[in-house]
Amino acid sequence: MIPLVHDFTDQTVLVFGGGRVGERKARRFAREARVVVVSPDFTDALAGERTVREATAETWQPRSAAAGIELVRDAPTAEAVPEWIDSVDPALVVAATNREEVNAAAAEAARARNVLVNRTDRAGERDVGSVVVPATVDDGSVSVAITTGGASPALSRHLRERLEAELDGAGAMADLTRELRAELKARDVAPAERREAMRRVVRSSRVWKALRTGTTNARKVAEDVIGIDSTTLAEQEPESQ
């Protein structure tokens, strides 16, 4: 399996099953996507947070295009599952019910429609279009995804917990170096020099410390680490490559 990243902004994710697993997946995707959860019942946490609408695949109407979770009470049979997929028209279907035949029907109907599917009750061999949800550590625009190829979700979770502290400040580092590399580019600093400068900044424990503690100006520390400041940068001769 090869991890790829997918932007779910303005897309819909349809989750079958409102139990513990359905809730976790719904929350994960709702950070970016609009999520519709179809289930006969929901975890207390989900049901306590928002209203549950009653609908069938025929009567359901989209409520909002905004990212977030929408709960719909229905218990589709395996035969009725494809109608829900046609009605909601999602980019991804998550099969998270405790009913094997419903999860299988969701996977089959998604595949037939070229819609991605995440089957939560299966590890191991995967069909075309079948995706795994990795454990993820996010810090700003930085994401690290961990998968064991389905072998050990508990290990994915454990490694995620360990990496959380390690990634502290990575989002701020991404912002700072985005700014610096744009400036170096705009000032026509040669690519080789730019690469060396960026490497020095991301490796610098002084810059990391400044970003994590916020006690010193990280931008100033980074300029010092590169060995040039904004003024000398501006004075540099453009170099052609």
Ligand X SMILES: C[C@@]1(CC(=O)O)c2cc3[nH]c(cc4nc(cc5[nH]c(cc(n2)[C@H]1CCC(=O)O)[C@@](C)(CC(=O)O)[C@@H]5CCC(=O)O)C(CC(=O)O)=C4CCC(=O)O)c(CCC(=O)O)c3CC(=O)O
Ligand Y SMILES: NC(=O)C1=CN([C@@H]2O[C@H](COP(=O)(O)OP(=O)(O)OC[C@H]3O[C@@H](n4cnc5c(N)ncnc54)[C@H](O)[C@@H]3O)[C@@H](O)[C@H]2O)C=CC1
- Determine the interface stretch with ligand X among 4-12, 105-113, 130-138, 193-201 (rule: CB under 6 A): 130-138
Q: Is 176 in the site for ligand Y (CB under 6 A)?
A: no
Nearer to ligand Y, 100 or 166 (CB): 100
Question: Terminus-to-terminus CA distance in the chain, angstroms?
Answer: 38
Q: In a 10 Å sphere around its CB, with 0-12 CB exposed, 13-18 middle and 19+ buried, how is residue 214 labelled? A: exposed
Euclidean distance between CA atoms 72 and 52, whole angstroms: 6
- Determine the interface stretch with ligand Y among 52-60, 90-98, 164-172, 195-203 (rule: CB under 6 A): 90-98
Non-local CB neighbours of 160 within 8 Å, separated by 6+ positions: 135, 136, 137, 146
Q: Is 3 in the site for ligand Y (CB under 6 A)?
A: no
Nearer to ligand X, 15 or 189 (CB): 15
What is the CA angle 44-97-99, rounded to 5? 130
The minimum distance between CB 43 and ligand Y, in angstroms, equals 7
Helix (H), strand (E) at residue 82: helix 81-88
Euclidean distance between CA atoms 57 and 126, whole angstroms: 28
By a kind-dependent CB cut-off of 5 to 8 A, residue 41 interacts, out of ligand Y, ligand X, none, with: ligand Y
Which residues pair with residue 118 across a beta bridge?
Answer: 94
Q: Is 97 in the site for ligand X (CB under 6 A)?
A: no
What is the gyration radius of the CA atoms in the chain, in angstroms? 23
| Residue choice 133, 170, 211, 226 for contact with ligand X (CB under 6 A) | 133
By a kind-dependent CB cut-off of 5 to 8 A, residue 157 interacts, out of ligand X, ligand Y, none, with: ligand X
Q: Which of residues 154-193 bind ligand X (CB under 6 A)?
A: 154, 156-157, 160
Judged by the rule CB under 6 A, the positions of this chain that interact with ligand X are: 24-25, 28, 118, 120-123, 132-135, 147-150, 152-154, 156-157, 160
